[in-house]
Each structure stands twice: as structure tokens, then as C-alpha cells.
Chain A
Amino acid sequence: MADEPVVIDNHRVLGVVPGKPVAGDRKVLGEEETVMVWPHLLVRHAVAALVVLLIVMVLALLFDAPLREIANPTITPNPEKAPWYFAALQELLAHFHPLVAGVLVPGAIVLGLMALPYLDRNPQLVPQARRVARTVFTIFLVVWIGLTLVGFAFRGPNWSWVWPWDEWHGEL
């Protein structure tokens, strides 16, 4: 023991003992540990909700919803565009018989998605153990997003190819 007492913040240190701090070990929490939903999850959800609302409110400030001329059964606009989320289907309709592009393909997609958990019986969750499922799904997503982009932005009058920077025909 030193002769001079050690003083920290006007408090004299009497001694140092080996071992754990009084509050116990600082626990390293694993991913599987559970936490209370309030406040941990709810706070995050509230922030997420506010961010989404902010995005919508800013979009609504910047861009007005479209309103074309009043409906007229005797004039079909050229090009006639479906809303963007059906642009992929419209692109398919220009190439295949409507029974295929308008009924069989969308029907197969919806039924296939519904059946997915019953077709993919591999219980693994780690990405490396489910390469086939991930590859198939990714290909489907890429093809569908590609078709949507083509139908939305790259098609002009008479459904002919246009470059979106030359002529803009996308409709929301």
C-alpha cells in the first residue's frame, strides 16, 4: 500500500479487488436473445412509419397525379399504356397469344408463388444451403423487373421500341 491515499473525485480508493464488476458481466447478446417489443421494436417501427410517410408526402409535393383528357371510347391513345405494375404483362401480350400472356403466365406466377413453401421443402435458412431456390427466384425477379422496365419506359407508339431519353411514354 502506498503512503499517499489514491483520491478520485474527492473519494478515497480503499482497495482494488480481483473479479467481476458489481453489476455482473457485461453480457454479449446473441441474435437469438429476446428483447421486449416495447420499446425496442416499436420505436424502430415508428421511425420506419414516419420515413415512409415522409417519402409519400414529398413525392406528393413534387409530382402531381396525372389526369388526361376525359374518357373517349372512339379514340385509343397511341401508345396505350397499362399502369406500370402491369407493364411486364403488356410487354408479354405484344409477343404471345393472350391466353398465354394474359391468363397462363400471370396464373402460373400467382399459383407458383403460393405453392413455393410446399415445393421448397429444404429446411435450411442459410443462403449457402439454398442456392437453387435463390437462383430460380432471382432469375424470375430479374426477368420480371426487366420486362416491366421495357414495357414501362422503352415502348412508344404502336408498341414500337423507343429510347426513354428520346421520347418519354411511361405512365403512372
Chain B
Amino acid sequence: MKLIRWIKETAVYRSIFRLPDVETERDRAASHWSSFLMHIYPVKVQRRELRFGYSAFLGVASLVLFGSLTISGIYLMFFYVPSPGTAYSDIQSIQTNIAFGQYIRNVHRWSAHVMVIAVAAHMARVFYRGAYKPPKEFNWVIGVVLLVLTLLLSFTGYLLPWDQLAFWAVTVGTSMASYVPVVGDVTKEILLGGPSVGSATLIRFYVLHVALLPAILAFLIAIHLWRWRKDSMLTVDPPPPGEEPAAETELVIAGEG
């Protein structure tokens, strides 16, 4: 403990974590503001947000699963080459030759399935709470895009093992695109990189799965959380019909406080 206290008083530590000694709520708020990791959170929230029934913590769950998928996915990337000649045998060797390979693949697969459920349930919970109402409309729209991206990520990952399950699910899934009027056939060809699922499709789905879609997802999650923080003090129940609505300025002050 003495060592920890000594470290905390060194000039180096104090330059990294520019925290005041926490004594009052004001100090705590100040250390909150000065931390990069904490700045995605507001300083204060309403007590209702602490209850399990408010959100069931499904948003946190989705974010944690995205983290779990990123980490397990990076492990898998070390051992996987996206080419029809190697993909399937790479998965086999991940499962048999690599320590904890099967387990990491399982974690990746299950995190993906649970994330789809968590994101969908998060959306339902937000709906029933009415948390998409002004001024939060656009954050709901971003949330819908995040749900679609989650599904796309899951689907692009589905092809990578290059087994029968993967091949035919993607064959059928991309064939649906060809029914989009006017641009359908071109969209399908761009997705597949050719007339049917093949090596070009595998590398395309791989790039989408490990680079493009996660980057877009992470960017939108940042905006989603930032807007959540900005709006976190605004869940004020409107007065019952017939009474005067709360003045706009009051809401703004509450938001800044």
C-alpha cells in the first residue's frame, strides 16, 4: 500500500493521471472530466438509471460483447488466411493444433450470437421506455444503423469458415440482393466479386468483416455514446396532458448541470 501511495505521488503518475485528491463531489467531477476513459460517461445520472429494470444494462452488454468479439477476432486473425484453398483447413487447425483455439473460436461465435440478441433487446427496451423521443430521435436512428451493422458483421463472418453452412447461406443471402430494382445485379456482383460465391467473395467478406464494418461500427458507437451522455439528464417526464409543458430553458440548464 505504501508503494502504491508513493507511486501516486510521483511526478510521472501525476502527469499521466491529472486527478485532484478526491474529497468532495466537485473533486470527483473534476477527476471525471480529466479522464479520457471516463469522459464517455456523464458525471451524474438520475437514480432511475441505476435500476436493473430501466435498461437491463443491455447497452453495456452490447458494448462488452463488441469488445469480446474484437479481442477473440484478433486472436483468430493470426491463424487464418482468407482463401478457398486455406480457409477451411485453417479453421480445422485452429480447432485442433492451436492451444485454446477451439475455445477462442467458440467465444467469438457465441459472442456474435449473444450480441445480436443483446442489441435487438436493447432496441426493444429503449422503445418501451420511450427513450427515442425528442431530443433523442437521432440517437435512435444511429441505434438502428448499429443493429443493421451488427447483423452485417455477423453475416460476413459467417462465410469465413468456408464450410457448406457458410457457402450456401451466403449464396442465398446475396441472391436476395439481385432482386433490388435497377441496382440489384450490380450490387450482387460487387458483393460477390464475380457471378457466384468464390475466392473473390471470401476476400471481400473478410475485408468487410475485419476492417471496414468494425471501423464504421466503432465510429458510430462513439457518436451513440457521446449523444447518450449529452442527453442523459434529459429524461424528464412531460407533464400530463393539459398542463403547461416545462420550459425549454429548464431542460437545457438541467442538461448542462
Residue positions of A touching B, CB distance < 8 A: 29-38, 40-42, 44-45, 48-49, 52-53, 55-57, 59-61, 63-73, 75-77, 80-86, 89-90, 93, 98-99, 102-103, 110, 113-114, 116-118, 120, 122-127, 129-130, 134, 137, 141, 171-172
B75 on interface, CB distance cutoff 8 Å: no
Inside 8 A of A29's CB, which chain B residues have their CB?
Answer: 47
Determine which of A52, A57, A67, A124 lies in contact with B130 in the assembled complex, contact meaning CB atoms within 8 Å: A124
B168 touches A56 (CB 8 A): no
A70 touches B88 (CB 8 A): yes
Inside 8 A of A117's CB, which chain B residues have their CB?
Answer: 132-134, 136-138, 140-141
Number of A-B residue pairs with CB-CB distance less than 8 Å in the complex they form: 209
B169 touches A82 (CB 8 A): yes
Report the 8 A-B pairs with minimum CB-CB distance, sorted nearest first. Answer: A102-B176, A117-B137, A71-B167, A48-B57, A60-B106, A65-B109, A34-B44, A68-B163
B169 touches A60 (CB 8 A): no
Identity of the chain A residue whose Cβ is nearest the Cβ of B31 in the assembled complex = A38
Inside 8 A of B144's CB, which chain A residues have their CB?
Answer: 110, 113-114
Determine which of A59, A76, A99 lies in contact with B168 in the assembled complex, contact meaning CB atoms within 8 Å: A76
Q: How far does the Cβ of B257 sit from chain A's closest Cβ, in whole Å?
A: 8
B46 touches A53 (CB 8 A): no
A56 touches B107 (CB 8 A): yes
B165 on interface, CB distance cutoff 8 Å: yes
Besides A31-B48, A34-B46, A52-B65, 18 more A-B contacts (Cβ < 8 Å) are A37-B32, A37-B42, A48-B61, A55-B114, A56-B111, A65-B102, A68-B164, A71-B88, A71-B162, A71-B167, A82-B169, A86-B155, A93-B176, A103-B184, A120-B132, A125-B235, A125-B237, A137-B128
Inside 8 A of B109's CB, which chain A residues have their CB?
Answer: 60, 65, 172
Q: How far does the Cβ of A170 sit from chain B's closest Cβ, in whole Å?
A: 12
B133 touches A65 (CB 8 A): no
B213 on interface, CB distance cutoff 8 Å: no
A38 touches B47 (CB 8 A): no
B60 on interface, CB distance cutoff 8 Å: yes
Max chain A C-beta neighbours (<10 A), residue from B103, B108, B176: B176
Determine which of B48, B57, B132 lies in contact with A32 in the assembled complex, contact meaning CB atoms within 8 Å: B48
A83 touches B179 (CB 8 A): no
A103 touches B162 (CB 8 A): no
Known contacts: A116-B140, A117-B134, A125-B237. The answer to whether A32 contacts B46 by CB under 8 A is: yes
Q: How far does the Cβ of A140 sit from chain B's closest Cβ, in whole Å?
A: 10
B50 touches A99 (CB 8 A): no
Determine which of A60, A89, A102, A114 lies in contact with B110 in the assembled complex, contact meaning CB atoms within 8 Å: A60
Q: Which label, helix, strand, loop or mixed, suits the secondary structure of the B interface?
A: helix
CA distance A169 to B241 in the complex (A): 52
A33 touches B113 (CB 8 A): no
Q: How far does the Cβ of B177 sit from chain A's closest Cβ, in whole Å?
A: 8
Determine which of B50, B103, B106, B180 lies in contact with A103 in the assembled complex, contact meaning CB atoms within 8 Å: B180
Inside 8 A of B74's CB, which chain A residues have their CB?
Answer: none
Inside 8 A of B134's CB, which chain A residues have their CB?
Answer: 117, 123
B154 on interface, CB distance cutoff 8 Å: yes
Identity of the chain B residue whose Cβ is nearest the Cβ of A41 in the assembled complex = B45
A130 touches B130 (CB 8 A): yes
Identity of the chain A residue whose Cβ is nearest the Cβ of B58 in the assembled complex = A48
A36 touches B111 (CB 8 A): no
Inside 8 A of A55's CB, which chain B residues have their CB?
Answer: 114
CA distance A72 to B41 in the complex (A): 49
A-B contact pairs, 19 of them (CB 8 A): A30-B47, A33-B46, A37-B42, A38-B28, A41-B45, A41-B49, A56-B110, A63-B106, A66-B163, A72-B164, A80-B169, A81-B165, A82-B172, A93-B176, A113-B144, A117-B132, A117-B136, A137-B124, A137-B128
